[in-house]
Amino acid sequence: MSKVCQKKEGKINGRQISVIELPALTRLSEEEVMRETLHCLYLSDPGVHVFILVTPVCLLTIEDRAEMEKIKGIFNSKEHFLVLFITELTVDKSVSDFVESTESQSVVSLYGSWYSVMGLKDQRNSKQISDLFNCIEGMKTKPYSLQMYMRAPEKRVRHELQEKLSVKNNDIKELQKRIKTLDGVKLNLVVCGSNRELKSFISNLILNQSERRSELSSECVRRDMELHGRLISLVELPALFNTQLSEEDVMRQTHRCVSLCHPGVHVFIIIIPDAPLNNEDRAEIEEIQRIFSSRINKHIMILIKQNSEHQTEKLNEETQSVIQSFGGRHQFIRSKTQVSVLMEKLEQMVEKNSGVCFSTETLMETQMEKLKEFEEMKKTIHSLETWFQSQDSRDGKDEVRIVLLGKTGVGKSSTGNTILGKKGFISDISQKSVTKVCQRETAEINSRHITVIDTPGLFDTELTKEEIQREMSKCISMILPGPHVFLLLIPVGRFTQEEQNSVKIIQEMFGENSLMFTMVLFTRGDDLNDKTIEQYLGEPGSSLKNLIEVCGNRFHVFNNKETGDQTQVTDLLQKIDNMVKENGGSYYSCKMFREMERQIQEQQKKILMEKVEQLNREKEELMNKHEEEKKRMKLNMEEERQNYDNERKRREEEYKRNIKDMEEQKRQIQEKLKKQKQQERQREEEEEKWRKKEQEMWNEYNQRLKQVMIEKERKRREEEDERRRNIEKEKWDKYYQKLEQEIERMNMKMEEERENHDKERKRRTI
């Protein structure tokens, strides 16, 4: 596969078409990636109308995903990309279903929304090409120009900042919610230590959880719960020592750990086993003291985990010393320890500290104090540099100081032995670095004092990045007043990506000026066979040739198997002398190294101050929002209280009116009943008179019959009257029963409203 852009042109339907094929970017170095992308845009002047991302109709490999991420990160434009799905077969339903699947559409969404499908079996089908061009015509975007490419990193950074800002706003909203609900009763705890199982044990004990999380995390994790009416926020701090985290990542994690515990950490819990401290425990405790300083001591509680077999209150001297260095507070923890006992101890500690917590401001202040100490140390080192330089001006002409650099296994120790003419360094053929720390050896060669520093591998398989950087920094102090040359060792053979990045690593460790004092030394010169070194370097523009040019075209070849051949050593020393002469007789001084460190410190200081200012702004904004929210809530509560009072008065007046209306209705009903009874009596009297008159009208000879008739009539009337009275009585009984039920219902409703009112009043009072 080609590693350079290729351009092809042709006419389709009378229109000039230019197609540029960009090589796979993940297989190129960063320098080659930049060169080829710029070349691509140069060939497409005035700009690219569309980037066609070709992907097969199958599951993506890890390499495919890496290539997509690389392309997206470089060009950073969703408007100019079209994803083209390619299949060896004809485009049928199975292909269409795959393209419409969730995974395929996620690839499309990564680059916008435009995509098309093409079957290579039907590549002669003009309709496919026509559909593709119609899709491109429908995009209607301005050409992707060189200016857009140059602004792409800025656009990407702005997008990332916006995402971070969005996350920060969400965190602030979550914090506001916490402040509104449980303001003033929150307890922030941070669990520290090198043993993850112990940290998980104490976290689950406090949070009353039983799960055991075994996955390793390099990020701070916060868990919240409410315990006895108090909100507990617990953060697990990752192990700070002997991890894959860089120094910057460690500082970022500690800052994030403290910032997660707004307004600060009340207690740092260090959990250790009830056993002699191991090296990891000691190193972790020292790292905690180094980062947080002695200001953390009054916030430390040391928990000692005991097992069921061994339970004693006696501690060894080293553990006692550690406890005393952190203020003397400790507590034994067992598997059956009640969390209430532990929380009581922690709350007593917080109360003793008057609620003062270790805030982000405190952490920033400790970092500022360290910067001041560093400035004082620089002044002392500067005075030493001046003295060494004065000594060097007297006898430096007969001295050569050399630092050997390179990845593990390139033969740094063997090269040092060849230069010195003796076996001063331990040498072995291995993929693991034999040299773990910087080593210094000297020798007299042709009446000249030669000093060689052997260093660990730049890509050591066992040492961490911080340990390698620490050793590289140490090598400068071992060869004061400074090395004349950095020999970058590269073996003859396959030129790897790691070796291509060597120059970048040297610049990061020793600064840009270090390349003025750098020479490439090729080891295993016998592998050249019949080739010359110039033939091995290849044509101009190759990666190896570019590396040599960056190092000022200074290089030399060594064969460490021919240790008796001192000609190669003499030639090397002569080239070093020529380089020193070109540099005006100077060397890479300790002052240059300190200046490089000073620039890094200034940059870190600037970042730190920006973080402090941002934190203060966020804190002020948060407090202002909190005050505004409190005022708004107060106004809302007052308004609700007034509305409630008005509603209560309205209901009371309505109830009084209802009672009055019911009493009036009752009075009217009673009067009505009284009138009906009077009318009934009058009617009965009239009927009685009528019966008397009727009896008088009968003849005496019908008297018996009349009497029978009268008797029947009287009985009938009595039964009818009785029935009527019963009906009337039932009506009035039902009416009174309904009336009593209505009164009872209204009484219950008033009682319920009174209880709700009391509950609401109590809730608002709380």
Q: Is residue 387 part of a domain?
A: no
DSSP H or E stretch at residue 64:
helix 62-75
* pLDDT at residue 215 is higher than 50: no
Contact 253, 220 (CB under 8 A): yes
* pLDDT at residue 165 is higher than 70: no
Q: Say yes or no: 46 and 68 in one domain.
A: yes
* pLDDT at residue 746 is higher than 70: yes
pTM above 0.75, yes or no: no
Q: Say yes or no: 260 and 408 in one domain.
A: no
Greater pLDDT, 469 or 711:
711
User: What local confidence, expressed as pLDDT, does residue 167 receive?
Assistant: 73
Q: Cα separation of 612 and 606, whole Å?
A: 10
Report helix angle 360-395 to 590-697, nearest 10.
170
Q: What is the mean pLDDT of residues 159-183?
A: 63
Q: What is the mean pLDDT of residues 634-653?
A: 76
Q: How far is CA 691 from CA 76, 93, 706, 722, in A?
A: 117, 108, 11, 19
Q: Say yes or no: 70 and 202 in one domain.
A: no
User: What local confidence, expressed as pLDDT, does residue 212 receive?
Assistant: 46
Q: How is residue 624 written in tokens?
A: 């202002």
pLDDT band, residue 272 (cuts 50/70/90) = confident
Closest CA relative to residue 468, chosen from 416, 506, 430, 518: 506
Q: What is the mean pLDDT of residues 226-233?
A: 77
The DSSP code sequence of 561-597 is: T-TT-THHHHHHHHHHHHHHHHTTT----HHHHHHHH
% of the chain beyond a pLDDT of 90: 1
Q: Say yes or no: 502 and 580 in one domain.
A: yes
Q: Say yes or no: 602 and 581 in one domain.
A: no
Strands 230-236 and 115-119: unpaired
Q: Say yes or no: 685 and 562 in one domain.
A: no
User: What local confidence, expressed as pLDDT, does residue 176 receive?
Assistant: 57
User: What local confidence, expressed as pLDDT, does residue 258 receive?
Assistant: 86
* Cβ-Cβ contacts under 8 Å for 516 (sequence gap 6 or more): 552, 583, 588
Dihedral through CA 383, CA 386, CA 391, CA 395, nearest 10? 150
CA angle, 748 then 753 then 757, to 5° = 150
- Domain residue limits at 281: 183-358
User: What local confidence, expressed as pLDDT, does residue 663 receive?
Assistant: 72
Closest CA relative to residue 87, chosen from 116, 66, 108: 116
User: What local confidence, expressed as pLDDT, does residue 214 receive?
Assistant: 41
User: What local confidence, expressed as pLDDT, does residue 268 receive?
Assistant: 92
Into how many domains does the chain fold?
4
Q: Is residue 478 part of a domain?
A: yes
pLDDT band, residue 393 (cuts 50/70/90) = very low
Q: Say yes or no: 239 and 347 in one domain.
A: yes
Q: Say yes or no: 407 and 329 in one domain.
A: no
Closest CA relative to residue 298, chosen from 272, 265, 260: 265
Q: What is the mean pLDDT of residues 88-102?
A: 76
* Cβ-Cβ contacts under 8 Å for 485 (sequence gap 6 or more): 400, 401, 402, 403, 517, 518, 519, 576, 579, 580
The DSSP code sequence of 101-168 is: SHHHHHHHHHT-S-EEEEEGGGTT-HHHHHHHHHHHHHH----B-HHHHHHHHHHHHHHHHHHHHHHH
Helices marked H in 396-487: 412-420, 465-477
Q: Say yes or no: 500 and 574 in one domain.
A: yes
User: What local confidence, expressed as pLDDT, does residue 533 receive?
Assistant: 82
Q: Cα separation of 521 and 556, whole Å?
A: 5
Of 13-22, 111-120, 526-535, 678-687, which range is least confident? 111-120
Q: Is residue 200 part of a domain?
A: yes
Domain boundary among 540, 565, 588: 588
Q: What is the mean pLDDT of residues 519-547?
A: 83
Q: How many CA atoms does the CB half-sphere of 735 hold within 13 Å?
A: 12
Q: Say yes or no: 302 and 249 in one domain.
A: yes
Closest CA relative to residue 706, chosen from 718, 719, 693, 717: 693
Q: Is residue 364 part of a domain?
A: no
pLDDT band, residue 28 (cuts 50/70/90) = confident
Q: What is the mean pLDDT of residues 270-298?
A: 83
Q: Cα separation of 632 and 436, whole Å?
A: 63
Q: What is the mean pLDDT of residues 478-507?
A: 81
Closest CA relative to residue 103, chosen from 71, 136, 55: 55
User: What local confidence, expressed as pLDDT, does residue 211 receive?
Assistant: 47
Of 181-190, 287-296, 460-469, which range is least confident? 460-469
Q: Cα separation of 477 and 455, whole Å?
A: 13
* pLDDT at residue 580 is higher than 50: yes
The DSSP code sequence of 243-280 is: SS--HHHHHHHHHHHHHTSTT-BSEEEEEEESS---HH
Q: Is residue 377 part of a domain?
A: no
Across 149-163, 453-467, 706-720, which has the greatest mean pLDDT?
706-720
* pLDDT at residue 309 is higher than 60: no
User: What local confidence, expressed as pLDDT, does residue 80 receive?
Assistant: 81
Q: Cα separation of 54 and 529, whole Å?
A: 43
Q: Say yes or no: 403 and 547 in one domain.
A: yes
Closest CA relative to residue 619, chosen from 369, 409, 440, 359: 359
Closest CA relative to residue 198, chosen from 300, 298, 291, 306: 306
Greater pLDDT, 276 or 471:
276
Greater pLDDT, 609 or 410:
410
Q: Is residue 174 part of a domain?
A: no
Closest CA relative to residue 300, chosen from 410, 418, 191, 184: 191
- Mean residue pLDDT of the chain comes to 78
pLDDT band, residue 227 (cuts 50/70/90) = confident
User: What local confidence, expressed as pLDDT, does residue 182 receive?
Assistant: 45
Q: Is residue 388 part of a domain?
A: no
Of 412-421, 436-445, 500-509, which range is least confident? 500-509
User: What local confidence, expressed as pLDDT, does residue 183 receive?
Assistant: 44
Q: What is the mean pLDDT of residues 436-450?
A: 85
Q: Say yes or no: 345 and 478 in one domain.
A: no
* pLDDT at residue 449 is higher than 80: yes
Read off the amino acid at residue 333. I
CA angle, 180 then 185 then 187, to 5° = 115
Across 51-55, 508-512, 698-702, which has the greatest mean pLDDT?
51-55
Q: What is the mean pLDDT of residues 68-76?
A: 82
* pLDDT at residue 179 is higher than 60: no
Q: What is the mean pLDDT of residues 426-450?
A: 74
Q: What is the mean pLDDT of residues 74-99?
A: 78
- CATH number for the domain including 300? 3.40.50.300
User: What local confidence, expressed as pLDDT, does residue 507 receive?
Assistant: 77
* pLDDT at residue 169 is higher than 70: no
Greater pLDDT, 214 or 755:
755
pLDDT band, residue 433 (cuts 50/70/90) = low
User: What local confidence, expressed as pLDDT, does residue 216 receive?
Assistant: 45
pLDDT band, residue 527 (cuts 50/70/90) = confident
Q: What is the mean pLDDT of residues 104-116?
A: 78
pLDDT band, residue 737 (cuts 50/70/90) = confident
Q: Is residue 350 part of a domain?
A: yes
User: What local confidence, expressed as pLDDT, does residue 289 receive?
Assistant: 82
* pLDDT at residue 721 is higher than 70: yes
Domain boundary among 588, 615, 646: 588
pLDDT tens-digit profile of 587-639? Answer: 887 777 777 777 776 776 677 677 767 777 777 777 777 778 777 877 877 78
Q: What is the mean pLDDT of residues 540-557?
A: 85
Read off the amino acid at residue 316. N
Across 210-219, 503-512, 552-561, which has the greatest mean pLDDT?
552-561
Closest CA relative to residue 95, chosen from 117, 111, 115: 117
| 572, burial (CB in 10 Å: exposed 0-12, middle 13-18, buried 19+) | buried
